[in-house]
Amino acid sequence: MMDREESQIQDPGRSMLKIENVVRDPRRFKILIAHGDAAIRRTIRNILQTLGFSRFREAEDGDDALRKLRSDPFDLVISARSMPLLDGLELRRLARKEPVCPAPFLLTGQVEEESDLCRALTKGKDDYLIEPLLPQEVEDRIIQLLFANLAPSELDVHLQAAGSDLAAGRLSEAHQALDKAEKKDPRSPLVYYFRKLVYDAEGRPDQAEEALDRARRKFAMVIRAPRQIDQLIERGGRFLAEGKIDEARRVFGEALAMEPNHPERTCQIGEAYLAHGLPAEAEKFFLACLESYPEDIHMFNRLGIAYRRQRKFSEAIANYEKALALDPHEENLLYNLARAHLSAGNREKAIAALDAAIGLAPDFREAKDLRDRLKHLGGAGPTTE
C-alpha cells in the first residue's frame, strides 16, 4: 500500500525552489486561503506546500475569512475577488481599516475582473492573479509580495543606527549600536565590517584591520556553513545506515552547533533517524521542532509516523488529531489517522476517518480502496494493514 505519510504531506524543507532566497524558514509564515471553491483552495494549498509553507487556515466565504483575521495573525492572505457574503476587496478594506491584518493580500479573479483589481490594489503592498492559477505564477507573485513587505530585523535596526551615527560623527554611539548588533547576531560579517569603518573614522588602523579580518572570516563562515551542515547531516545518515549510532550522534551534534536553534536543521536530523528505522530518536527532534513551531501540522504528522512505528498508537492518534484541529481540510492527515486507528484495532473509527477524507477529496483512490476493503471485511477488532 502506498504510504501517504511519506509521499503526500510535503516536507517544508524539501522543495524550497526560489522562495529560499526570500524566506529563510517558511515554517514561521501563516497563510489564510479564502475562496468559495474548495477545489481551488486545495490547488492553492498544494502549490504553497511545494514552496515549503505548512501553516494554513482556510475560509469558504468573506465573513469566515474576516473572523479568522480578527482572531489570528497572518503573514499572507490569498483571497478570491468574488466570494459569498463579503468579496475579496471588501475583506482587504476591512482588514486594513481596523486594522486586523497588515499582511499583504494576493487576490485571485477572473479575466473580466482584472481591470478592477489593478485599480484597487496598492502597488507593491498587494497583488493579484487571474485564474486558472499556474504554480510558477503563484510562486513568483508570492516572492515579490514577501520581498516587498519584508520588515527590518532587530539586527538591521541596530546596523542602521550605527550607520547613522557614523555618518553624523557620533562614533561612541556607533560603537554602542554595534555592541547591540553583535549581541543579536555575533556571526554577522556586517557587524564587524561596520566596526572597521568606525575604527577608520577614529584613526585606529590596527583595530580596523583586525575588525576587517573578522568580517572576512565571518563572511566565509556564512557562505560555507550551509554546505558544511548539509554534508554533516548526510554523513550522519550514512552512519545510521551502517548502524554506527554514536558516530551519527556526534556529527549531528556538530551540524547543530554550526547553526544553533535552527528548527529546519533539527527537522532534517529527525527525518534522518526516521528514515533509518529509529523512530524513538526521531521523536525527540520532532518534539524540539514543535517547541519553535507549535502549530506546524507537518511536525504533528511526522510525530504520528514516529509513534505509529513504535506501536504507540494512542500517541500517534493524538498527534494526528492535533494537526486536524489546526487544519481540518487536510485529507491526507485523515488518511493517516485512519491507518493509526486501524493499527490500534478500531476499524469503525478508521472507516469514519476515511469517509471524512473522501468527503474532502472524492478522487482519493487510496482512501477509497482502504475503506472498501475494511467494509468488505466487516466485523471488529485488529486488522492487518
Q: In terms of domains, do 100 and 202 share one?
A: no
pLDDT digits 0-9 by tens, 132-166:
888 888 888 887 887 777 767 788 889 999 999 99
Q: Report which secondary-structure segment, H or E, holds 130.
A: strand 127-130
The predicted pLDDT at position 27 comes to 61
Phi, psi of 222 (to 5 degrees): -60, -40
Is the domain of 123 the same as that of 171?
A: no
Grid cell of 123 as nine digits? 502597488
> Would you call 56 exposed, middle or buried from its count of C-beta atoms within 10 A (0-12, 13-18, 19+)?
buried
Q: Domain total for the chain?
A: 3
119 and 244 share one domain: no
Residue 161 lies in a domain: yes
Judgement on whether residues 113 and 183 belong to the same structural domain of the protein? no
202 shares a domain with 190: yes
Considering the domain architecture, whether residues 9 and 144 belong to the same structural domain is answered as yes
Q: What is the CA radius of gyration of the chain?
A: 25
Angle between helices 245-258 and 205-241 (to 10 degrees): 150
The distance in angstroms from the start CA to the end CA of the chain is 8
- What pLDDT was estimated at residue 106? 92
Work out the angle at residue 76's Cα, subtended by the Cα atoms of residues 70 and 77, and round it to the nearest 5 degrees: 65
Of the three residues 206, 227, 260, the one that is the final residue of a domain is 260
Cell readout for 298 is 507537518
What's the sign of the alpha-carbon dihedral 263, 264, 269, 271? positive
Residue (of 145, 141, 133, 184) closest to 162 by Cα position: 184
Using CA atoms, how far apart are residues 75 and 151, in angstroms rounded to an integer? Answer: 12
C-alpha cell belonging to residue 194: 561596520
Taking the model in full, what pTM does it have? 0.63
Statement to judge: residues 165 and 209 lie in one domain: yes
Residue 291 belongs to a domain: no
**Residue 167, CA distances (Å) to 119, 162, 178, 198 in order:** 41, 9, 14, 10
Q: CATH number, domain at 93?
A: 3.40.50.2300
| Structural contact between residues 34 and 57, judged by C-beta atoms closer than 8 angstroms | no
Domain assignment present for 241: yes
Could you tell me which of 319, 322, 351, 320 has the C-alpha nearest to residue 336? 320
Q: Give me the count of residues in the chain.
A: 385
Domain extent for 369: 328-385
- Tell me the DSSP string of 297-310: HHHHHHHHHHHHHT
State residue 26's pLDDT score.
60
With CA atoms as reference, report the closest residue to 253 among 270, 232, 274. 232
**Vertex 156 angle, CA 217 and 161, to 5°:** 105
The reply to whether 358 falls in a domain is yes
What is the reported pLDDT for 123? Answer: 67
Same domain, 120 and 162: no
Residue 107 CB neighbour total at 10 angstroms = 25
- Statement to judge: residues 31 and 96 lie in one domain: yes
- 281 located within any domain: no
How does pLDDT run along the chain (385 residues), one tens digit per residue?
334 554 444 433 333 333 333 445 566 678 899 998 888 888 888 888 887 777 788 888 899 899 888 877 888 899 998 888 888 889 988 888 877 778 889 998 888 888 888 887 766 688 888 888 888 888 888 878 877 777 677 888 899 999 999 999 999 999 999 999 999 888 889 999 999 999 999 999 999 999 999 999 988 887 888 888 989 999 999 999 999 999 999 999 999 988 777 777 888 899 999 999 999 999 999 998 888 778 788 889 889 989 999 999 999 999 999 989 888 888 889 999 999 999 999 999 999 999 999 988 888 889 999 999 998 876 444 444 4
**Residue 278 and residue 240 in contact, taking contact as beta carbons nearer than 8 Å:** yes
Domain end, chosen from 209, 236, 260, is at: 260
What local confidence, expressed as pLDDT, does residue 121 receive?
A: 79
Q: Closest Cα to residue 49, out of 77, 29, 70? A: 29
pLDDT for 114 equals 82
Co-location of 13 and 120 in the same domain: yes
Both 191 and 248 in a single domain?
A: yes
By CB atoms closer than 10 A (0-12, 13-18, 19+), residue 371 is buried
120 falls within a domain: yes
> Per the structure block, which three cell numbers stand in for 14?
524539501
Give the per-residue pLDDT at 269.
93
Do 144 and 160 fall within a single domain? no
* Domain CATH for 237: 1.25.40.10
Per the domain annotation, does 314 fall within a domain? no
Instruction: Determine the 3-state secondary structure of 237 from DSSP.
Output: helix
Is residue 323 assigned to a domain?
Answer: no
Instruction: Give the DSSP H or E segment for 78.
Output: strand 76-80
DSSP 95-114: HHHTTS--S-EEEEE-GGGH
Helix (H, G, I), strand (E, B) or coil at 57: strand
Residue whose C-alpha cell reads 521523536 in the numeric block = 283
Last residue in a domain, options 260, 286, 319: 260
